[in-house]
């Protein structure tokens, strides 16, 4: 988070925060002291939900950084104060940094007093972060709900509608949480957040992939057309004579830019939400179970992440997948600065490297051993000749400000006609049968 993330708010801004919580509670029809968070959420009308989404959607999400996550976890920002809040208020300004970013106060909470002075520093950090999350997550969720409601084409896919429902329910639950003042309240919040993090939102990626697949399928069949600049599904009109003379054209790839931009925002926001929630939950687990404590880790962040070890792990997983599919796999040759370490989230690096190395292996095998993905059991040419290796180079700047990991292969390259499409979420070279099996596997 930016420097303001950890700093103190003045009384006026505290009242604004209380107003936000009271507003959410009013919509949900419960008293702030009511411990039952979820029962009355179902009683909200669509208009009330829409107003609540608009309320949080007017706020700006907080920028984040791994450095401040680490400092907050170590308690370094518990007692820092933000200067200038009162000054901005007297000038009539009320920025999102004043209302949404500052999470720390002299007693470690977010504009609230901790009820018990006999609270450890670790518990104060937990309360600090929990209060920040109960205000920050509804803002991020609201922005995504608004996007899911307005994105062309994708918003009509059933699986995308299901994702929107998940986000709406999560917004209602988190926004109804009152200010957290005790370790017991923080414990309750953590349990609820863990349920959302581990269960309710765990399938969102698969659901969004389903939505993209459904849209690609309709485009491929020519079922998505543009009628007078309005996108429609072809079966709605069919060969109805009343529609004769209407200008229509199949939906083309180039017309999907709004979907691409939306998916960029959606996935970036999802990463941010899961980093915030995952860091908080991982920190609590480390403190509750000292036997799993690792000096290299602060929550989900490893202070000594090794790209060399990450490449080795990703290559091992990709090799297993490639051998299972093709019966063989290219060697992975790693070179460069193999002793380099830096602070990062290892699971994120592993995911990125796995995708790159897996794709490089697949392209290499298809190029040099023949066959294809169209058939359930593709035929592969047997050969005693080794396939070319996949090369991975790890390089960093002289002061370790930048780390570059280069993956190269001899898989034949990318057709020139695909260059403009390769960064699209809606483009893939995998056959429809492969896509269907992947979607079915993810659903199971």
224 pLDDT above the threshold of 90 = no
What is the C-alpha separation between 70 and 228, in angstroms, rounded? 53
Query: Percent of the chain scored above 90 by pLDDT?
Result: 42
**What average pLDDT does range 63-76 have in this prediction?**
87
What's the pLDDT at 404?
A: 92
C-alpha angle 279-18-96 in degrees, rounded to nearest 5: 65
What is the C-alpha separation between 288 and 292, in angstroms, rounded? 9
Confidence of residue 116 (pLDDT cuts 50, 70, 90): low
Confidence of residue 113 (pLDDT cuts 50, 70, 90): low
What's the pLDDT at 222?
A: 72
What's the pLDDT at 30?
A: 40
159 pLDDT above the threshold of 50 = yes
List the beta strands (DSSP E) in 274-396.
297-298, 301-305, 332-336, 342-344, 390-396
The average confidence (pLDDT) of the chain is 76
What does pTM read for this prediction?
A: 0.75
Top pLDDT among 310 and 366 is at 310
Q: Token digits for 302? A: 């490893």
Over the stretch 356-373, which tens digit does the pLDDT of each residue have? 999 999 999 989 887 555
What's the pLDDT at 6?
A: 26
């Amino acid at each position: 988070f930016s420097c303001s993330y950890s700093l103190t708010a003045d009384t006026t801004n505290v009242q604004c925060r209380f107003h936000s919580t009271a507003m959410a509670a009013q919509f949900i029809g419960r008293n702030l002291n009511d411990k039952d968070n979820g029962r009355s959420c179902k009683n909200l009308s669509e208009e009330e939900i829409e107003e609540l989404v608009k309320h949080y959607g007017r706020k700006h999400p907080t920028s984040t950084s791994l450095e401040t996550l680490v400092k907050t976890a170590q308690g370094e920002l518990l007692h820092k104060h933000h200067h200038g809040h009162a000054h901005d208020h007297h000038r009539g300004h009320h920025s999102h940094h004043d209302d949404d970013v500052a999470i720390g106060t002299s007693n470690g909470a977010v504009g609230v007093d901790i009820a018990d002075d006999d609270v450890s520093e670790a518990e104060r950090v937990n309360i600090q972060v929990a209060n920040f999350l109960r205000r920050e997550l509804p803002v991020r969720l609201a922005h995504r709900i608004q996007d899911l409601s307005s994105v062309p084409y994708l918003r009509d896919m059933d699986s995308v509608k299901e994702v929107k429902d998940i986000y709406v329910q999560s917004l209602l639950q988190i926004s109804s949480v009152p200010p957290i003042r005790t370790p017991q309240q923080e414990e309750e919040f953590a349990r609820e957040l863990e349920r959302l993090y581990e269960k309710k939102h765990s399938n969102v990626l698969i659901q969004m992939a389903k939505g993209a697949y459904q849209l690609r399928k309709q485009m491929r069949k020519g079922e998505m057309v543009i009628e007078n600049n309005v996108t429609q599904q072809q079966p709605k009109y069919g060969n109805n004579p009343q529609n004769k003379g209407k200008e229509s054209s199949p939906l083309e790839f180039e017309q999907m830019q709004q979907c691409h931009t939306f998916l960029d925002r959606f996935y970036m926001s999802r990463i941010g939400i899961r980093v915030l929630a995952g860091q908080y939950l991982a920190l609590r687990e480390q403190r509750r179970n000292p036997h799993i404590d690792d000096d290299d880790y602060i929550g989900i962040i490893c202070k000594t992440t090794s790209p060399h070890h990450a490449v080795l792990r990703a290559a091992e997983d990709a090799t297993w997948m490639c051998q299972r599919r093709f019966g063989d796999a290219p060697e992975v040759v790693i070179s460069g600065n193999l002793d380099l370490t830096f602070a990062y989230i290892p699971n994120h690096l592993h995911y990125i490297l796995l995708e790159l190395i897996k794709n490089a292996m697949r392209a290499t095998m298809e190029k040099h051993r023949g066959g294809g993905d169209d058939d359930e059991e593709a035929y592969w040419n047997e050969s005693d000749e080794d396939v070319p290796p996949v090369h991975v180079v790890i390089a960093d700047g002289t002061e370790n400000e930048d780390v570059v990991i280069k993956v190269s292969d001899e898989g034949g390259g990318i057709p020139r006609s695909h260059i403009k499409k390769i960064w699209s979420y809606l483009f893939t070279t995998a056959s429809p049968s492969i896509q269907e099996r992947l979607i079915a596997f993810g659903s199971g």
